[in-house]
Amino acid sequence: MWLLWLASAANGAYATGELNQLGTSRLQSIASAIETASLSNAPVAVVVRGIVISNRRHIVIEDQTGATEVKPLDTMQLALGDEVEVSGNMALAPSPQIQGGRIQRLWGGSMPLPLAITPDEAANGENELQLVQTVAELVDVIPAGMTGARLDLRGGHQNFFAVLPGDSLDGELATKSMQIGATLQLTGVLMASYGQSPTQGYAFSLELRTPDDIKVVEPPSWWTPAHLMLLGILALILVLIGISIYYRVRHDRYRAVAEERAGIARDIHDTLAQGFAGIALQVEAAQQMIERDAERASELLNDALQMVRHSRDESHLSIDILRSLSRSDRLDVLIRHCVLQKGAGSRTQIEMDTHGSPVPLSFNLVNNLFRISQEALANAVQHSGAHRIVVRLSYNRDEVALEVQDDGKGFNPDRAPGPEQGHFGLTGIRERCAVIGAKLELCSGANGTLLGVRVGIG
């Protein structure tokens, strides 16, 4: 009977939590132990059970009612999730902790689910030392040397930080792609910011255990001030480039119009102006001869009529060229036709020599080389007093060479009248050479004049 009574009493005491294994203190919940300690000015002996939720910088255990830090009497290897029984003296300053704790590992278990709270709720201090989970924006990442890394965070109306111990990093922190401005989910032990000055403005801190306590909820927004500034700079550059292109196109358009006008002016000079000048000379000569020699005057008028017809044909040709209707004409054919016309209306002997096989040339080359030969022939016929003029056209492998040579009296190219005196011939030739990138050679003396033009076709 005595033995049965002892066994029954022992079982009842264990069932009601009256005895622990040591039989020295009453087993109670962590919240009850904290409340007991709050009623005393000195540490109170307690025995509690809980699950290890932090085992690095601090040993923290938690049960369903609360959490407390443990200052162990002896060093002991504990794993996260271990269920332990701790006996020692409970004190509340600066935070709940069991001093001189004797830890007995009961068995390995699993981690309790963290308490999901907002940063504003964490700041009120009611869940101190508990395993919590919250979401906040990453403000800065500060390496903390041997102690790990500190993450400055902002959530709700609170600024706080989280510390990841150095011995848990192992190079894995970078794989979290934690960029400033990212929204993170953090799981850790909630610590009050004891010892923080008010100017630092940290409401609390989180003690993280492993890099897995950090989850990226949302990457940082691309629209950061730095990116906005970069976009502004790029937009300004694009605007400046656009303005530059606009004025370049406008300038090129004006230049094209100016070149076209200059080309039309050259064509008018090479056709109508020269034709009218020749007609005027013939008509004036006929007017002077009409009373003295009617037959000679009639010949002069016939020549003038031929020149009128020639000028008309030249004007038609110029119009055709301007309208791009003569692009298929070969250069040697056009020059030969011009030679025949000039020779028919003049007593000067005009010859043409062609060397090499004609090759296809662009309209721009054909037009300008033909106008140069036309102007050179007109000048030689009207001003040189030559008896013989030779036009040579040579087709080479990579260039075309045009020469107009006469045996006239020659002139000084440096003193030749220019546009100021109403003479545009040499000026037009030089301009046309510049347009097609041709090399101009002009030699003149007592034995005649040689005008040569060479232009590449490769």
pLDDT single digits (tens) 270-305: 667 767 777 888 788 888 888 888 888 888 888 888
339 HSE (CA, 13 A, CB side): 21
Please report where in the chains the tokens 């009850």 appear, as a residue: 32
Cis omega before residue 94 (within 30°)?
yes
The encoded tokens of residue 172 equal 């894995």
Average pLDDT over residues 382-390: 89
Helix H or strand E encompassing 217: strand 214-218
Task: Decide if pLDDT at 227 tops 90.
Answer: no
Name the pairing type of β-strands 131-143 and 115-116. Answer: parallel
Task: Decide if pLDDT at 365 tops 70.
Answer: yes
Predicted local confidence at residue 12, as pLDDT = 37
Task: Decide if pLDDT at 380 tops 70.
Answer: yes
Average pLDDT over residues 299-316: 77
Categorize the per-residue pLDDT at 404 as very low, low, confident or very high, splitting at 50, 70 and 90: very high
- Please state the domain extents for the chain: 16-108, 115-218, 222-326, 327-458
Distance between CA atoms of 270 and 214, rounded to whole angstroms?
Answer: 86
Distance between CA atoms of 446 and 458, rounded to whole angstroms?
Answer: 37
In 212-330, which ranges are continuous DSSP H helix?
225-268, 274-289, 294-322
Task: Decide if pLDDT at 179 tops 70.
Answer: yes
CATH top-level class of 115-218: mainly beta
Helix H or strand E encompassing 279: helix 274-289
Q: What is the pLDDT of residues 407-423, one digit of tens each?
A: 999 888 877 766 555 55
Distance between CA atoms of 311 and 317, rounded to whole angstroms?
Answer: 10
Contact yes or no for 48/117 (Cβ under 8 A): no
The fold adopted by the segment(s) 16-108 is OB fold (Dihydrolipoamide Acetyltransferase, E2P) (2.40.50)
The encoded tokens of residue 93 equal 């300053």
Q: How far apart are the first and last CA of the chain?
A: 127
Please report where in the chains the tokens 């054919």 appear, as a residue: 333
What separation in angstroms does the CA of 243 have from each of 227, 239, 248, 249? 24, 6, 8, 10
CATH topology match: 16-108 vs 115-218? yes
Q: Which residues pair with 386 in a beta bridge?
A: none
Predicted local confidence at residue 395, as pLDDT = 93
Handedness of CA 53, 87, 9, 6 (dihedral sign): positive
Predicted local confidence at residue 233, as pLDDT = 95
Distance between CA atoms of 187 and 282, rounded to whole angstroms?
Answer: 110
Q: What is the pLDDT of residues 15-63, one digit of tens each?
A: 333 334 444 568 999 999 999 999 988 999 999 999 999 988 789 999 9
Q: What is the pLDDT of residues 431-441, one digit of tens each?
A: 889 989 999 99
Which pTM does this prediction carry?
A: 0.48
Average pLDDT over residues 423-433: 81
Categorize the per-residue pLDDT at 212 as very low, low, confident or very high, splitting at 50, 70 and 90: confident
Burial of 213 (0-12, 13-18, 19+ CB in 10 A): buried
Distance between CA atoms of 406 and 386, rounded to whole angstroms?
Answer: 6
Non-local CB neighbours of 343 within 8 Å, separated by 6+ positions: 349, 350
Average pLDDT over residues 424-431: 81
Distance between CA atoms of 90 and 192, rounded to whole angstroms?
Answer: 18
Phi, psi of 65 (to 5 degrees): -105, -20
Predicted local confidence at residue 35, as pLDDT = 92
Closest CA to 379 of 330, 444, 322: 444
Predicted local confidence at residue 167, as pLDDT = 62
Greatest C-alpha distance within the chain: 179
The fold adopted by the segment(s) 327-458 is Heat Shock Protein 90 (3.30.565)
Per the prediction, the chain carries an average pLDDT of 81
Closest CA to 356 of 216, 442, 457: 457
Query: Residues of the chain with pLDDT > 90: what percent?
Result: 38
Predicted local confidence at residue 25, as pLDDT = 66
Phi, psi of 410 (to 5 degrees): 75, 175
- Residue 351, classed as helix, strand or coil, is strand
Please report where in the chains the tokens 């076709």 appear, as a residue: 457
